[in-house]
Amino acid sequence: MNKPKLNITENDILFFDMDGTLVDTDFANFLSYKKAIQSFIQSENEIEFNPNERFNRASLKIAVPNLKETDYEKIIQKKEENYKEHLSETKMNKSVADILLKYSKTNKTVLVTNCREDRALMTLNFHNLTDKFSSIFFRNISTNGQRINKYKNAISSLSLSAQTVIVFENERPEIEDAIQAGISIENIISF
């Protein structure tokens, strides 16, 4: 973890990623996928949780190869439905949550996540964090199906200067997006 910027001022805007940064959702996500897969296909091969890698769409296609794209979409939809059953398996990252709780009283705090809105709100509500954010940005996909740089989107939507933003993020591609959005590397706190 990079050392947090020591002199956060009232003018700094704090951007928080959710999955893996503010809240560890990996095990709940895995359990949701596992149950969805089991309800869709009967397989002798049991998928195993890997704490070093988030189970995602690519993992699904490796774990359960040769399905039609529509079948993968059905499994993903069922995974989303299953998630609420596994909320108790999510865990707040105390060091990041403490920063959020402290600065939500004095600074603009923004959730910037690639998580879908319903799952993000369910997770935030479970941990009593929803009201700690001035603004929330959920997963956003362009009209051609491409992923949108969540940091560029939030900065533009809020009409902010990237120089005033401090980011809390855990994923390398997202850190690269933050840099591409004009946020200084010194203002990116990684976990």
Within 10 angstroms of residue 143's Cβ, the number of other Cβ atoms is: 5
Cα–Cα distance between 1 and 29 in angstroms, integer? 23
Within a domain: 5: no
Please check whether residue 188 is in contact with residue 172, taking contact to mean a CB–CB distance below 8 angstroms: no
Same domain, 107 and 64: no
Within a domain: 81: yes
Same domain, 65 and 34: yes
- Tens place of pLDDT per residue across the chain (191 aa): 454 545 799 999 999 999 999 999 999 999 999 999 998 887 667 889 999 999 999 999 999 998 999 999 999 999 999 999 999 999 999 999 999 999 999 999 999 999 989 999 999 999 999 999 999 999 887 677 777 899 999 999 999 999 999 999 999 999 999 999 999 999 999 87
Same domain, 81 and 175: no
Same domain, 149 and 121: yes
> Helix 26-40 and helix 69-82: axis angle, to 10°?
130
Gap between the terminal Cα atoms of the chain: 5
User: Looking up tokens 């980011």, which residue turns up?
Assistant: 167
Same domain, 34 and 111: no
Q: Which of 70, 77, 87 is nearest to 31 (CA)?
A: 87
Cα 118 to Cα 3, 84, 115, 123, 156, distances in angstroms:
32, 10, 8, 9, 23
Same domain, 99 and 111: yes
Which residue segment(s) compose the domain that 183 sits in?
Answer: 13-25+90-190
Within a domain: 3: no
Q: Which of 175, 3, 170 is nearest to 93 (CA)?
A: 170
Last residue of a domain, one of 52, 68, 88: 88
Within a domain: 140: yes
Same domain, 56 and 21: no
Within a domain: 7: no
Last residue of a domain, one of 88, 121, 138: 88
Helix (H, G, I), strand (E, B) or coil at 19: strand
Point out which residues pair with 110 in neighbouring strands. 15, 135
State the total domains in the chain: 2
Residue 160's CATH number: 3.40.50.1000
pTM of the model: 0.89
Same domain, 177 and 96: yes
Same domain, 18 and 111: yes
Q: Which of 25, 148, 163, 14 is nearest to 91 (CA)?
A: 25
